Amino acid sequence: MEERIYTVSEISQEVKRVIEQFISPVWIEGEVSNYSVSRVGHVYFSLKDQFSLINCVIWKNISFSIPYQITTGMRLLVHGNITTYSAQSQYQINVIEVRAAGLGSLYMAFEALKKKLSSEGLFDDSRKVSIPKYPRSIGVITSPTGAAVRDILQISERRNPSVKIVIFPAQVQGKSAADTIVKGIEVFNKLVNVDFIIIGRGGGSIEDLWAFNEEKVVRAVAASKLPIVSAVGHEVDFALSDFASDLRAPTPSAAAEMTIPGIEEIKNGINRINQSLQQVILLKMEKFRNQVDDSKRRLFLNRPLEIIKQRFQRIDEFEGRLTTSIKQALQSKKLRLETIVNTFKALDPKAILSRGFAIVYRLPEESVVRSVKDIERGTPISVEVSDGGFKAKISSIRNAKSE
């Protein structure tokens, strides 16, 4: 019988078929090495033990659901299918679920994510805002049946029943916990029906509290427009949401005590403000009285009525001087006008007629005769004297040289 000869690709495909067909999905535990993330978001790493190593891949659509920040050196439990990469005849695990193996790995994941988010500035104090001092309404994201919500409600009722507590029921443990916490933050930020938010739960193991360490929760806390108080576990417990929040409370009860003002505290504050206002008013009134008294003293010393009388007297003096000046100016102008009139009268040729002189006009043009050359025998003339005139004819002419 002739032996079959396979190509490299054919034998690779046959191995792939056998492995993927006959080996069911498995759980494998090992230490992470060669960790990397591709540009598009696929995660590649190896799991190793003392003697062997196996490659793993987490596709992008699965990697988003992993609650841990995987880092080299962590011990993980991974669940997935064994497949082969036929191009290089290598087998690998397509990971569909990841769990941390032991507390050490959880702490490593905690520190790795803390370092990553801190480098992005999510924990910076400059991002944090103050919690409103006198809230009207507080949003609480926690389990509706847990001890945390009961403690918050009891403390609110004792300290200030007028503060409204709005509860968003969330899972605080398990696979869906992080998604419900994020949803609660988003709902309150959309409705803006509370002054700030408290997120938290009672104490538990690091696994129980892990939802508050998940990256999606921490980013939602940092992105919230409403101030957030993180109150997770007991005093010794720390979650990454504590670092991103605007205020960390050691317990849910402490969060209520720290943020809900007591009735007596408010009354005492109002009384202090009232006393301060009264003191300010009294000081202002005293200052005003002193100013009035000072003004009175200055008025008396300066004798304003006497000053006004003196001003009136000076006005009268100026008025007298002005009147005299105007009279003198008018008299001077009158004298000058009379001089001009007399001058004009003296120069008026008709005024000379009253002294025996006459004006002779040649007719018919009525031109003034100034010389014997202007007339001849028989020329009709008109003679004007002071009290009238008459007409005549020239009968003879005598030249001054002929005399």
Distance CA(162)–CA(42), nearest Å, equals 51
Neighbours of 252 (CB within 10 A): 28
Contact 159, 263 (CB under 8 A): yes
- In the CATH scheme, what is the code of domain 8-119? 2.40.50.140
125 DSSP assignment:
G
Q: Which residue ranges make up each domain of the chain? A: 8-119, 132-261, 265-302, 353-402
Q: What is the pLDDT of residue 362?
A: 85
Contact 149, 100 (CB under 8 A): no
In the chain, % of residues over pLDDT 90: 40
Q: What is the pLDDT of residue 311?
A: 80
Fold of 132-261: Rossmann fold (3.40.50)
Span 123-140, average pLDDT = 95
Question: Residue 166 corresponds to which tokens in the numbers above?
Answer: 């709005």
Report pLDDT digits (tens) over 299-356: 666 666 777 777 888 888 888 888 888 888 888 888 888 888 777 776 666 667 777 7
How far from 144 is each of 171, 206, 245, CA to CA, in Å?
9, 21, 22
Question: Residue 199 corresponds to which tokens in the numbers above?
Answer: 């997120």
Q: What is the pLDDT of residue 403?
A: 52
Distance CA(348)–CA(355), nearest Å, equals 13
Burial 256-294 (b: 16+ CB within 10 A, else e): bbbbbbeeeeeeeeeeeeeeeeeeeeeeeeeeeeeeeee
pLDDT tops 60 at residue 402 = no
pLDDT tops 80 at residue 22 = no
In sign, the C-alpha dihedral spanning 347, 353, 357, 359 is: positive
Q: What is the pLDDT of residue 141?
A: 97
Task: Give the up-direction half-sphere exposure of residue 42: CA atoms within 13 A in the CB hemisphere.
Answer: 7
